[in-house]
Structure 1
């Protein structure tokens, strides 16, 4: 970490000696440790704030995956191919990741409450208005506007939790927050398929979350609290220039390696979430004696699998991290990236087997997909925790935004489209003539081969997480020392005044 960018005077005047620095760091850690395990000290207002953030995260991800639950109907109405269908999600994610750094910069310097309120209002309104367009270009454009609104929320919300809590209490709250992601994604499939089927129009599936978004805006404006940055850690570190923030993040190996690893998680999640229902539907139609199969029913089941996998996987990952931290007291936090690395390496063969079994055994497919999603979801809350304890408080919104930019740019921004492009290309190599409509068997095999790439990406992500474990302890200690130095510097003027007063007497 570039300490000079945190405390500009440190290079000219050493205010704290090495021994005093270590002592201050130890005192800071001891003071934080007293607040780590005790949920009873959490106030009602703080619980309400976390609950509101979780509710918004839930409807946020419901909105993202509603279209995936009715993708077959969308393709039919707009008469689009697999690559164009994948482009819908790519447009959303590109807008989301491009605007994330802007909101990250604003979130470290201005009112987070009003930035989030404006963002939620924007994505709710554009989701509702976009559902009425019959032109594919305009529909895709409004999906991009939805991404802008959601970027304002996702970059800021975790930093509010970090400023309210420390240690294992923070980990528990982050687990609760990220628990809403897979549950919301699963509900997105369910809401999209059920609402569309009930109204006999898939567009009604998009019109549920905007009303919930209006409620969320009111809760942000009048109920949620916005703590001071670094409040939970008694941090007195001041914000620096955006250039200094980015330079520090790039020089932080734990942050960069965990971001690359999470990019692999985003790639796999984006591809499976977008194409999973369509792929399973094609596979089931190839099974003998399978009747009355609809994409809506498959989306409903896939949503349930994803929801329960997330409901189990996210808190399980957080619980494992907290348990191992308590046992590995000397090396501190180094167990966190190890859990994530081994989870991804375990997920890869499970996802591969699920992709292979789908045309033969329905129950086995859902079981393997469920297990693969559980191991994938183990990483969510742990990665969020890693960012917050290896980055100083006034840079955390920027760090969240930077990770969103990288993970989506090279992850789920392109994975749905890439899988669609590979699928379309394979259809030609599998013997389909340009003038012919590909058979169900050809469509299934093309999409299956395209989705195999997710297994290789999971292995790469696991390796990046294991590399993160080499640097994690050192980088967290740097943050603790920076906070301790800033606290010592802020206390020194008052100490000097007290000495002068005593001398006068």
Structure 2
């Protein structure tokens, strides 16, 4: 929600500089740049120090930065950009560490279900961010109030984290009755070398990068595309000056929430059932969903000038198929990486996914659109067609992502066996009561189904 709140507020500083091309995306790379620089640091800390304390620090940082940014005068735009960057730093702590905590609390089917619940709130949060930003800006007439409401929710999250969430030993849930001794404490560089030799991790990371590329482009440009499509159909008057009608942010936000909930649950449940008969189920499901999402996105773009209803339907199907993978790819990472460096693995996957994915895709879409528009008559229809055609590369990228997950399936079983062998030691727990205390506050570890 925090990252997408400004996306739904047409009066926010998001389109600084005006225009319909790349100039609309200036503040977003500041957030991404800070997140990318911070993710490896939090991954390192998460593998070696208290994860609960690190998560608490991250929430305080992004909450405080978001609240303070709502009081910054327009004369100090650099300070606003800095505060958005600090929000990215706080987000990095949660993105890298929270999945590893869940991985140490649950195993196998239970882990898949819990990750599904966790990752539901990526698309749901993004959608609610659009809705909240748009609704608050409409009600108050000031986009800053959207940033002032969020810290209330974050305070509740911090209290629940401190009171209810344990900080389990790394690898605690991997095997009942066995404590994880792992290898001797390795350096960060040794962890990185291990990860880049792990082909399941490498190919799945490239698949996630393709997903991030498309979701980043959709998250920024889809509301504008939907607005212009309705103008082309004569349902709205053209808008040549910001702010424009914000109803499309609400529509896209609602689509993201609904398809996100259904998609994450569908993907996780399909994975849980299918991997009982096929050990390569997880990457195959990811590949199938992305390969099916590519034509859906293509049809949503191509049909927009002729039939708006069909465009909305295929856009919703594409988002649904993309959402199927969020929990599944996290489960893949946790199963192929040894517990000692899962935080670093999450950090590297986030870093690569953002650098090659959503950090550049909004810029690229804007640049392509501007380049196409430069050689055409300056009409509203041609502007819409330029944006439509710039989106077509997303269908190609998402198909490449499906191919990356097919390659992941080739190495999955080998890397899972190596992670299980390297990640668990042979120190048997002496008594049943000690076994129950393996994860503080949770009783006996979950039994394998």
Please report how far the alpha carbon of residue 128 of structure 1 lies from its aligned counterpart in structure 2 after TM superposition: 1.6
Shift in CA distance, 493/169, structure 1 to aligned 2, threshold 3 Å: closer
Name the SS for the 1:65 alignment partner.
Answer: coil
Q: TM-score, normalised by structure 1?
A: 0.79
- Structure 1 residue corresponding to 2:335, chosen from 375, 378, 389: 389
Please report how far the alpha carbon of residue 77 of structure 1 lies from its aligned counterpart in structure 2 after TM superposition: 7.0
Tell me if the contact between 1:90 and 1:412 (Cα under 8 Å) persists in the aligned partners: no
- Cα deviation digits, residues 425-476 of structure 1 (max 9, x gap): 22212234xxxxxx43233122212211111100110111001100001110
- Cα deviation digits, residues 134-168 of structure 1 (max 9, x gap): 24443333211210111011100000000001101
Please report how far the alpha carbon of residue 94 of structure 1 lies from its aligned counterpart in structure 2 after TM superposition: 1.8
- Structure 2 residue corresponding to 1:96, chosen from 23, 35, 50: 35
Please report how far the alpha carbon of residue 72 of structure 1 lies from its aligned counterpart in structure 2 after TM superposition: 6.2
Please report how far the alpha carbon of residue 214 of structure 1 lies from its aligned counterpart in structure 2 after TM superposition: 2.0
Alignment of 1:45-56 (within 5 A): none
Alignment of 1:280-299 (within 5 A): 280-290=226-236, 295-299=245-249
Residue segments in structure 1 that go unaligned for 5+ positions in a row: 1-61, 433-438, 495-505
1:193 matched to which residue of 2? Answer: 134
Shift in CA distance, 137/111, structure 1 to aligned 2, threshold 3 Å: same
Please report how far the alpha carbon of residue 80 of structure 1 lies from its aligned counterpart in structure 2 after TM superposition: 5.8
Looking at structure 2, the residues matched to 358 and 145 of structure 1 have their Cα atoms a distance apart, in angstroms, of 38
- Structure 2 residue corresponding to 1:400, chosen from 346, 364, 376: 346
Looking at structure 2, the residues matched to 493 and 313 of structure 1 have their Cα atoms a distance apart, in angstroms, of 43
1:237 matched to which residue of 2? Answer: 182
1:11 matched to which residue of 2? Answer: none
Tell me if the contact between 2:170 and 2:339 (Cα under 8 Å) persists in the aligned partners: yes
2:162 matched to which residue of 1? Answer: 221
CA RMSD in angstroms comes to 2.1
Alignment of 1:55-454 (within 5 A): 62-71=1-10, 74=13, 79=18, 82-133=21-72, 134-135=74-75, 136-233=77-174, 234-238=179-183, 239-290=185-236, 295-328=245-278, 332=279, 334-432=280-378, 439-454=379-394
Name the SS for the 1:471 alignment partner.
Answer: helix
Looking at structure 2, the residues matched to 388 and 250 of structure 1 have their Cα atoms a distance apart, in angstroms, of 15
Looking at structure 1, the residues matched to 364 and 235 of structure 2 have their Cα atoms a distance apart, in angstroms, of 33
Which segment is superposed worse, 348-357 or 124-133? 124-133
Shift in CA distance, 75/472, structure 1 to aligned 2, threshold 3 Å: closer
Looking at structure 1, the residues matched to 180 and 155 of structure 2 have their Cα atoms a distance apart, in angstroms, of 34
Please report how far the alpha carbon of residue 407 of structure 1 lies from its aligned counterpart in structure 2 after TM superposition: 0.7
Query: Which structure has the larger Rg?
Result: 1
- Cα deviation digits, residues 322-363 of structure 1 (max 9, x gap): 1111122xxx2x111111111111101111111222233332
**Does residue 480 of structure 1 match 2:420?**
yes
Name the one with the larger helix percent.
1
Alignment of 1:22-37 (within 5 A): none
Name the SS for the 2:26 alignment partner.
Answer: helix
Please report how far the alpha carbon of residue 66 of structure 1 lies from its aligned counterpart in structure 2 after TM superposition: 1.3
Name the SS for the 1:201 alignment partner.
Answer: coil
